[in-house]
Amino acid sequence: MPRSYTIRDPAVEHLAYLCHLAAYTGLVVCLGWLAFFISLKEWELVISLLFLALAILPGWLLAIKGHFSAGLMLAQIACLLFVVIFCYRYDVPGNSVPRTTHLYLPVIALVGYMNYQQNRSRLQAIIILLSLIAFIFYCSTGSLFSIENPIPRSFRVVSSWLNPILATLFLFAGIVAMHTNFSRRTQMSKAIQHALYNEQFILLYQPMVNASGQVTGAEALIRWQHPVSGLLPPSAFLPDAQEAGLMPMIGEWVISRAFKDLLQWQKAAATRHLSVSINITADHLMQPDFVRKLLRRVHANNIPCAQVHLELTESVFVTDPQTVAARMSELAAAGFRFSLDDFGTGFSSLSTLRGLPLEQIKIDRSFIISASESEKGSVIAKNIARMGSELDLEVVAEGIETQQQWSMMKDYGCTLFQGFLFSPPVGVAEFVRLAQGENPKKSTDDPLAP
Ligand code: C2E
Ligand code: MG
Ligand code: MG
Instruction: Give the pTM.
Output: 0.76
What CATH number has the domain bearing residue 387? 3.20.20.450
Amino acid present at 450: P
Mean predicted lDDT score pLDDT of the chain: 86
Same domain, 244 and 370: yes
| CA 239 to centroid of ligand 2, rounded, Å | 15
Cβ neighbours for 285, distance < 8 A, ≥ 6 positions apart: 312, 316, 324, 327
Confidence (pLDDT) at 9: 56
Give whichever of 40-44, 178-182, 189-193 has the largest mean pLDDT. Answer: 189-193
**CA nearest neighbour of 110 among 174, 15, 173:** 174
pLDDT in tens, 336-387: 999 999 887 766 666 667 778 999 999 999 999 998 888 888 999 999 899 8
58 inside domain: yes
CB 424 within 8 A of CB 441: no
User: Which of the listed residues 186, 213, 244 is the one where a domain comes to its end?
Assistant: 186
pLDDT > 90: percent of the chain = 52
Q: Which ligand is nearest to the CA of 277?
A: 2
Same domain, 35 and 149: yes
Measuring CA to CA, how many Å separate 204 from each of 122, 182, 377? 38, 31, 31
Of 201, 203, 231, 279, best ligand 1 pocket probe by most atoms within 8 Å of the beta carbon:
279
Same domain, 260 and 158: no
39 inside domain: yes
**Which atom of ligand 1 lies nearest, measured to the CA of 364?**
3
Same domain, 153 and 240: no
Confidence (pLDDT) at 260: 97
Q: How confident is the model at residue 4 (pLDDT cuts 50, 70, 90)?
A: very low
Cα gap 322→315, rounded to integer Å = 14
Same domain, 144 and 207: no
Stretch 227-234: mean pLDDT, rounded?
A: 93
User: Which of the listed residues 124, 154, 186 is the one where a domain comes to its end?
Assistant: 186
3 inside domain: no
448 inside domain: no
Decide if pLDDT at 297 tops 80: yes
Per the DSSP assignment, residues forming a β-bridge with 308 are 276
Confidence (pLDDT) at 240: 87
Same domain, 138 and 235: no
Amino acid present at 159: S
Confidence (pLDDT) at 147: 57
Same domain, 156 and 274: no
195 inside domain: no
* 420 DSSP 8-state letter: T
Range of the domain at 325: 201-435
446 inside domain: no
| CA 101 to centroid of ligand 2, rounded, Å | 50
More confident residue, 188 or 441: 188
Residues with CB under 5 A from ligand 3 (ion): 341-342, 398
Q: How confident is the model at residue 73 (pLDDT cuts 50, 70, 90)?
A: very high
Same domain, 85 and 115: yes
Cα gap 55→44, rounded to integer Å = 16
Ligand 1, residues at Cβ distance < 6 Å: 2, 4-5, 206, 220-222, 233-235, 238, 251, 254, 279, 281, 311, 341-342, 365, 399-401, 418-420, 425
Same domain, 134 and 23: yes
Termini Cα distance of the chain: 7
Closest CA to ligand 1's atom 19: 399
**Which atom of ligand 1 lies nearest, measured to the CA of 342?**
3
| CA 239 to centroid of ligand 1, rounded, Å | 13
Confidence (pLDDT) at 10: 61
pLDDT in tens, 401-433: 999 999 999 999 999 999 999 999 999 999 999
User: Which of the listed residues 123, 155, 186 is the one where a domain comes to its end?
Assistant: 186
223 inside domain: yes
Decide if pLDDT at 18 tops 80: no
Q: Which ligand is nearest to the CA of 220?
A: 1
Distance of CA 174 to the CA centre of its chain: 22
More confident residue, 63 or 381: 381
Same domain, 77 and 42: yes
Q: Which ligand is nearest to the CA of 339?
A: 2
Same domain, 290 and 360: yes
Closest CA to ligand 1's atom 21: 4
Same domain, 151 and 228: no
Confidence (pLDDT) at 183: 87
Cβ neighbours for 410, distance < 8 A, ≥ 6 positions apart: 211, 417
| CA 206 to centroid of ligand 1, rounded, Å | 9
- Split into its structural domains, the chain has a count of 2
4 inside domain: no
